Amino acid sequence: MSQLLADLLFPNVTETRDDLLKKYPVRGKNVVCTRLAPSPTGFLHIGGVYTALINRKIATQNNGVFMLRIEDTDKKREVPGSRKIITNVFNELGIKIDEGVTSETEEIGAYGPYVQSNRVEIYHILAKYLVEKGLAYPCFATEEELNEIRKNQESNHITPGYYKEYAKYRNTSIDEVKSFLALGKPYVLRFRVSDSAPERIKINDLIKGELEMDNNQNDFVLLKTDGIPTYHFAHACDDYLMHTSHVIRGDEWVSSLPIHIQLFEALDFSLPTYAHVAPVMKQEGESRRKLSKRKDPESNAEFYLEKGYPTKALYVYLYTLINSNFEEWYLANKDKDIEEFEVKFENMGLSGPLYDLDKLNNISSEIIYETSLEDNVNNLLKWANSYNVSDYNRFQNDLDFVKKIFMTQGPNSRERRKDLRNYSSFMETFGFLYDDYFNQSDVSEAQNFIDSVGKDRVSLVVNAYINYFNELKIENTAKTLKDLAKELGYTDKKKFQKNPEAYIGIFTEFYQILNLALSHKLNCISVDDVIAVLGFDEVINRLKKVLEWI
State how far the Cα of 251 lies from the Cα of 255, in Å rounded to an integer: 8
Evaluate whether 120 touches 228 at the Cβ level (below 8 Å).
Answer: yes
State how far the Cα of 130 lies from the Cα of 151, in Å rounded to an integer: 30
Q: How far is the CB of 74 from ligand GLU (least distance, A)?
A: 8
Q: How far is the CB of 275 from ligand GLU (least distance, A)?
A: 11
Nearest to 365 by CA among 414, 449, 296, 429: 429
Q: How far is the CB of 247 from ligand GLU (least distance, A)?
A: 6
Q: How far is the CB of 426 from ligand GLU (least distance, A)?
A: 35
Evaluate whether 214 touches 245 at the Cβ level (below 8 Å).
Answer: no
Q: How far is the CB of 77 from ligand GLU (least distance, A)?
A: 9
Q: Which stretches of the chain bind ligand GLU, using CB under 6 A? A: 37-39, 71, 235, 249-250, 253
**Helix or strand holding residue 5 (H, E):** helix 2-9
Q: How far is the CB of 252 from ligand GLU (least distance, A)?
A: 7
| Residue 273 CB-density burial (10 A; 0-12 exposed, 13-18 middle, 19+ buried) | middle
Task: Name which of 76 and 157 has its Cβ closer to ligand GLU.
Answer: 76
Q: How far is the CB of 27 from ligand GLU (least distance, A)?
A: 19
Task: Name which of 45 and 418 has its Cβ closer to ligand GLU.
Answer: 45
The radius of gyration computed from the CA coordinates of the chain, to the nearest angstrom, equals 33
Q: Could you list the beta-strand ranges (E) of 389-443.
A: none
Q: How far is the CB of 90 from ligand GLU (least distance, A)?
A: 15
Task: Name which of 37 and 259 has its Cβ closer to ligand GLU.
Answer: 37
Task: Name which of 250 and 349 has its Cβ closer to ligand GLU.
Answer: 250
State how far the Cα of 418 lies from the Cα of 398, in Å rounded to an integer: 22
- Positive or negative torsion for Cα 18, 21, 23, 25: negative
Task: Name which of 299 and 515 has its Cβ closer to ligand GLU.
Answer: 299
State how far the Cα of 533 lies from the Cα of 535, in Å rounded to an integer: 6
Evaluate whether 373 touches 407 at the Cβ level (below 8 Å).
Answer: yes
Of the candidates 293, 336, 493, 498, the residue annotated as catalytic is: 293
State how far the Cα of 283 lies from the Cα of 134, in Å rounded to an integer: 50
Nearest to 468 by CA among 449, 486, 450, 455: 486
Residue by residue, DSSP assigns 143-202 as: HHHHHHHHHHHHHTT---SS-GGG-TTTT--HHHHHHHHHTT---EEEE---TT--SEEE
State how far the Cα of 547 lies from the Cα of 460, in Å rounded to an integer: 10
Is the bond leading into 113 cis (omega within 30 degrees of zero)? yes
Residue 119 neighbours by CB under 8 Å, 6+ apart? 113, 234, 237, 238
Evaluate whether 116 touches 72 at the Cβ level (below 8 Å).
Answer: yes
Evaluate whether 319 touches 338 at the Cβ level (below 8 Å).
Answer: yes
Task: Name which of 70 and 420 has its Cβ closer to ligand GLU.
Answer: 70
Q: Which residue's Cβ has the minimum distance to ligand GLU?
A: 249
Task: Name which of 40 and 431 has its Cβ closer to ligand GLU.
Answer: 40
3-state secondary structure of 465: helix
Q: How far is the CB of 343 from ligand GLU (least distance, A)?
A: 18
Residue 304 neighbours by CB under 8 Å, 6+ apart? 46, 93, 314
State how far the Cα of 3 lies from the Cα of 314, in Å rounded to an integer: 54
3-state secondary structure of 303: helix
Task: Name which of 39 and 299 has its Cβ closer to ligand GLU.
Answer: 39
Task: Name which of 78 and 445 has its Cβ closer to ligand GLU.
Answer: 78
Q: How far is the CB of 211 from ligand GLU (least distance, A)?
A: 16
Burial 392-411 (b: 16+ CB within 10 A, else e): bebbeeeeebbebbbebbbe
Task: Name which of 161 and 250 has its Cβ closer to ligand GLU.
Answer: 250
Task: List for the chain the helix, strand, coil content (%; round to 5).
Answer: 55, 10, 35
Q: Is position 293 annotated as part of the catalytic site?
A: yes
- Catalytic residue numbers read 293
